[in-house]
Amino acid sequence: MNTFSEEHSAEVVAASFANTPDDRLREVMGALVEHLHAFVKEVELTEAEWATAIDFLTRTGQKCDANRQEVILLSDVLGVSMLVETINHRAGRGSTESTVLGPFHVVASPPRELGDDVALDGKGTPCLVSGRVTGTGGEPVPGAQVDIWQANDDGFYDVQQPGVQPELNLRGLFTTDDDGRYWFRSIVPKYYPIPDDGPVGQLLSATGRHPYRPAHLHFIVSAPGYQTVTTHVFVADSPYLDSDAVFGVKESLIRDVPVVDDPARAAELGLDNPFRTLTFDIVLQR
């Protein structure tokens, strides 16, 4: 009889999934049970700790709403989001590396024209963001969709401050030109804390970790015939590059954001002088 015991707990529970019709689901559930039971045995989880964990997970789910995803945030701070992203989007042949989606891509970015200003609240240091989308062979990718979003100069995304920030502030969906180029006006990204007023913030506090992310812009770049990449570009002089709360930094994604003091060029671009520039070329795999 396959009765439950401490020694054989994982085998007994895994056997209950033996008739799962979906092969992949059976494989995943078996591995989950094996590792979960091994974890409980290794730390000899107490009943009080088990109850605390159940309460924590319950509150994490209850914190989610249309504009906030606390479960994704938990996955982020445990490094699971980055691991899944990296496994599923292994860069090769010089293609741009991926990183986490993050919890704030919860609204569709509005289509914008090349050169548009996405900083609708007028805050922050003006910045020209530009780059070129190519394939791994160096060929330009015209008509690529470049979806961008970032926090404002106070460190908040628009969906975190409804009624405070303009709707769809610092978001845009751009289409590359015939040479694969894109450009738009924005502000220099600023480092900021992830939301830490919920269960995930309590976990960070209890473990002595800070909630900060280094300054970055989010990108999703897609084109027919190429693999979509979800990534960031990080500001080279930002704090927290070596201790990102969600482990999203990869060295290949860090860029300098130099100052340009050129009144004529600033006037041509519609930016205050001086301004800064961020260049981020993106290479897609077929």
DSSP code string of 177-244: -TTSEEEEEEE----EEPP-SSHHHHHHHHTT---EE-SEEEEEEE-TTS--EEEEEEETT-TTTTS-
Give the chain's mean pLDDT.
95
Asked if residue 136 has pLDDT above 70, the reply is yes
Mean pLDDT of 169-198: 96
Q: Is the pLDDT of residue 67 over 80?
A: no
Could you give the CA distance from residue 286 to residue 135 in angstroms, rounded to a whole number?
7
Q: Work out the average pLDDT over 193-214.
A: 96
What pTM was estimated for this model as a whole?
A: 0.89
The confidence score (pLDDT) of residue 1 equals: 63
Judge whether residue 92 has pLDDT over 90: no
Q: Stretch 109-124: mean pLDDT, rounded?
A: 96
Residue 66 has pLDDT above 90, yes or no: no
Closest CA to 194 of 89, 54, 100, 59: 100
Instruction: Report the chain's C-alpha Rg in angstroms.
Output: 22
pLDDT of residue 145: 98
Identify the sign of the CA torsion 271, 274, 280, 281. positive
Q: What percent of the chain has pLDDT over 70?
A: 100
Mean pLDDT of all residues in 108-118:
97
| pLDDT of res. 72 | 92
Average pLDDT over residues 273-285: 97
Contact 131, 181 (CB under 8 A): yes
What pLDDT score does 44 carry?
98
Predicted confidence at residue 220, as pLDDT, reads 98
